[in-house]
Structure 1
């Protein structure tokens, strides 16, 4: 969430005239994130988030917006897209595709306890189960195919040791993806970016999961691995912390027990998740786009996480 396309109050007021959501009270640009332009919009009738999509096309967006609406209808705490008077949830502003969604209450918890991780695990499993009958299909746009295209572009900026690590891991994940065990993993629509800054808590109760614009169809254990790699780690080392890991995994499995192949391949999924975010952070850092409010994340963090996952090859279920 960054500001690539500046908006003023008059432009947002003209946009809001299409809805029955009251008049504009406050407009605030959101500086965090790196993909889209986002504003907090407060009206006389509620609080919303306005997103202008800088990379995703109008053809891709129905997958995300309808998924959010589908999950909201299943009592999952996610932002719900607002329809205008004509019933459309996909809009345009400044010649960009746009969406207006409900703003959820709460704040992000950047130093989570085991209790927070347990709530994330439970919610993630419920999201996977609720999306089983979601009919739209769209691949994970930051999946293996994207990594195969992007990694060669960032290699010139890396040291010899970094290049060896990322090339070897890409080869490992490519070979794994061709196996029957990987092909048989349960899959469906996943969030694919459930980090601490994409969840909200109020009085230590989970109140929402947002920023669904990296969602796509992928394996459920990849989605689980993304969450584990952020919510349950010791940041300086990238190692998994036992109490939080146990809490998240136990809570997830109480809602949806993992199959044998999922348990066996979870360490590889943790490596895949680390590779995905190291690659994207390298691209954001070395191949940046202009934005009025944008600070790229440090790629070194997920380099540490990947090295730790490759070296450790630990049994996650020693924690569970």
Structure 2
């Protein structure tokens, strides 16, 4: 998570004191990611050292951020393992650093599993379904800001940077997704607050146990199926050291889908539109990576993701037999 905003040590220390988190002893920028400025902050309180994550938001404004932060707090209160935003003496969880919105959350235990097994996929499927159920009574609403309207706005921006083959693919897929969004089955998809970016590097495990989901700053109200499809596209593929594969892995997908459905079974509309949502998830991340790759922002430690990975995933999803995953889900639903 790149460093766009250099936060002075003294300013960070003052915020942490205001949050009653102790005295700052270390402020360390976090590598990876492209949206926000993130630091690990280590504090000392009553002789104990604690580590938190300080985020300075670069694109999201003060009007949008309460949704994300209060959603995290809501989920934490429901027993979903997510970082909980720290409040000051007035109960505020949205703060200001260098004139920009900021938040501090607890650091989750463990590490990300970048080469997941079926066990990891089952744990993610189970917890994702629990998150969807826990969020149904969340009192705030905000659209997925990287949903279909953003795709329609952004495709023309990236088109000049694409080859003829890439341009044809992205135009065709965008037209297809606009068609899907007009279907009655799409209107029947269960909806609510979703994570919308639950990649392998946004989940923590320790000793094989899932310890938490984090990075909720793409969350929004959308279909639960889209959220599941994003996970299937990232977790349930053949992984290589440089993410150059992306082919569907049936065993991993079965593990995640069956665990999800054991908690929240999919309805008929969801079953029919799963292949379309897998394509939607691939389009969304190919498009955002194209945007970041060709229209980058200056940042210390910035490492934009290679967009060709999700181009491969989208091409594979388009070529996948339409009923493959639907039948997979049917088999495991009956088995459960």
- Distance apart, 1:237 and its partner CA: 3.6
Aligned to 1:274: 282
Aligned-partner Cα distance in 2 for 1:291–1:54: 11
Contact 1:200 1:207 in 2 (8 A): yes
- The secondary structure found in structure 2 opposite 1:4 is coil
- The secondary structure found in structure 1 opposite 2:105 is strand
Matches within 5 A, 1:90-169: 90-169=94-173
Q: Of residues 221, 233, 241 in structure 2, which corresponds to 1:217? A: 221
Contact 1:237 1:308 in 2 (8 A): no
Aligned to 2:87: 83
Q: Of residues 269, 283, 296 in structure 2, which corresponds to 1:261? A: 269
Aligned to 1:193: 197
TM-score w.r.t. structure 2 length? 0.94
Q: Of residues 49, 54, 57 in structure 2, which corresponds to 1:50? A: 54
Q: Of residues 306, 317, 325 in structure 2, which corresponds to 1:316? A: 325
Q: Of residues 220, 232, 241 in structure 1, which corresponds to 2:249? A: 241
- The secondary structure found in structure 1 opposite 2:193 is strand
Contact 2:238 2:246 in 1 (8 A): yes
- Distance apart, 1:184 and its partner CA: 1.3
Contact 1:19 1:84 in 2 (8 A): yes
- The secondary structure found in structure 2 opposite 1:79 is coil
CA RMSD of aligned residues (A): 1.0
Q: Which ranges in structure 1 are unaligned for 5 or more consecutive residues?
A: none
Aligned to 1:287: 295
Aligned to 1:9: 9
- Distance apart, 1:317 and its partner CA: 3.9
Aligned to 2:187: 183
Residues 143-184 of structure 1, C-alpha deviation per residue, up to 9 Å, x if partnerless? 010011111011011000100000000000001101111011
- Distance apart, 1:189 and its partner CA: 0.2
Contact 1:285 1:298 in 2 (8 A): yes
Aligned-partner Cα distance in 1 for 2:265–2:12: 46
Contact 2:282 2:313 in 1 (8 A): yes
Q: Which ranges in structure 2 are unaligned for 5 or more consecutive residues?
A: none
Aligned-partner Cα distance in 2 for 1:41–1:189: 29
Residues 273-305 of structure 1, C-alpha deviation per residue, up to 9 Å, x if partnerless? 000000000000000001101110000000000
TM-score w.r.t. structure 1 length? 0.98
Contact 1:142 1:276 in 2 (8 A): yes
- The secondary structure found in structure 2 opposite 1:167 is helix
Q: Of residues 41, 65, 80 in structure 2, which corresponds to 1:61? A: 65
- The secondary structure found in structure 2 opposite 1:240 is coil
- The secondary structure found in structure 1 opposite 2:269 is helix
Aligned residues: 320
Aligned to 1:306: 314
Aligned-partner Cα distance in 2 for 1:78–1:149: 32
- The secondary structure found in structure 1 opposite 2:18 is coil
Aligned-partner Cα distance in 2 for 1:79–1:19: 15
- Distance apart, 1:10 and its partner CA: 1.6
